[in-house]
């Protein structure tokens, strides 16, 4: 039996953890997960593919940023339940723009590596903002407005969405282009905060919008009723 076939996917709830190292230095770059399809794609293409638990889909590493991982070697541990990837990393591995996802000293809270890549350009402003919001969850609420929203009363956070939607509505009614842009940005931020509070990636919203292409509004509403 092939070693890969020994993975008990059912026992692992369909996902196996993957530790990824830079092949030339053995620096640990990231920890991610693969389902069977992602592992098969990785083996076939010689490029790292993972299963994103937040996006709920397979993603090719670097699909939006171009920061791909060429496979040098794939190892599996003695229990057949953890994979080690050794890769040639193009660009950086972390969405923060750092080479490795492991850059914070847990004892001192010191940041031990610098940002190397502009993540807004690499990943887009929505994804970058969403991940920035996630990182603010553990900040001091007295110093971070985002943390205050995430750690405060849920009704207060949701009330801001209603308020910003109302202000956007009035800006549209007044035909004020600059105000429309400003209020739409405010509304987008507060929607992303709400999504972050439930760990729902905006990528899943994009997937839902993509699903609706080619579907009439009536068909979409009927599909909801059928569910």
Contact 172, 136 (CB under 8 A): no
pLDDT at residue 115, rounded to an integer: 87
Q: What is the pLDDT of residue 227?
A: 55
**3-state DSSP assignment of residue 217:** helix
How much is the pLDDT for 64? 85
Which helix H or strand E contains 130, and what residues bound it?
helix 125-135
pLDDT at position 117: 83
DSSP state of 21: E
The DSSP call for residue 157 is H
Q: Pick from 85, 117, 121: which is nearest to 98 by CA?
A: 117
Q: Which residue has the tokens 């996917």?
A: 9
The full set of domains in the chain, from first to last, is: 3-119 (3.10.20.810), 126-213 (1.10.287.1080)
User: What is the reported pLDDT for 22?
Assistant: 97
What pTM, to 2 d.p., does this model score?
Answer: 0.75
Per-residue pLDDT of the chain in tens (227 residues, 90 and over written 9): 567 778 889 888 999 999 999 999 999 999 999 999 999 999 999 999 999 998 999 999 999 889 999 999 999 999 999 999 999 999 999 988 899 999 999 899 888 888 888 877 777 899 999 999 998 998 899 999 999 999 999 999 999 999 999 999 999 999 999 999 999 999 999 999 999 999 999 999 999 999 888 766 556 556 655 55
What pLDDT is stored for residue 25 in this prediction? Answer: 96
């Amino acid at each position: 039996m092939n070693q890969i076939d020994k993975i008990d996917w059912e026992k692992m709830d369909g996902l196996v953890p993957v530790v990824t190292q830079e092949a030339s230095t053995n620096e640990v770059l990231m920890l991610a997960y693969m389902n069977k399809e992602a592992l098969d794609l990785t083996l076939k293409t010689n490029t790292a593919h993972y299963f994103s638990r937040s996006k709920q889909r397979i993603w090719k590493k670097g699909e939006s940023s171009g920061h791909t991982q060429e496979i040098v070697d794939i190892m599996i541990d003695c229990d057949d339940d953890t994979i080690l990837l050794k890769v040639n990393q193009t660009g950086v591995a972390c969405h923060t723009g750092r080479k490795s996802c492991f850059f914070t000293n847990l004892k001192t809270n010191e940041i031990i590596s610098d940002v190397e890549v502009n993540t807004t350009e690499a990943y887009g402003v929505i994804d970058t903002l969403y991940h920035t919001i996630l990182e603010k969850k553990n900040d001091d609420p007295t110093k971070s407005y985002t943390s205050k929203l995430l750690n405060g009363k849920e009704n207060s956070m949701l009330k801001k969405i209603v308020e910003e939607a109302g202000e956007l509505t009035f800006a549209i009614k007044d035909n004020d282009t600059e105000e429309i842009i400003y209020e739409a940005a405010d509304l987008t931020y507060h929607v992303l905060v709400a999504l972050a509070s439930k760990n729902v990636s905006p990528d899943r919203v994009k997937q839902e919008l993509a699903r609706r292409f080619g579907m009439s509004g009536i068909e979409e509403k009927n599909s909801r009723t059928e569910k």
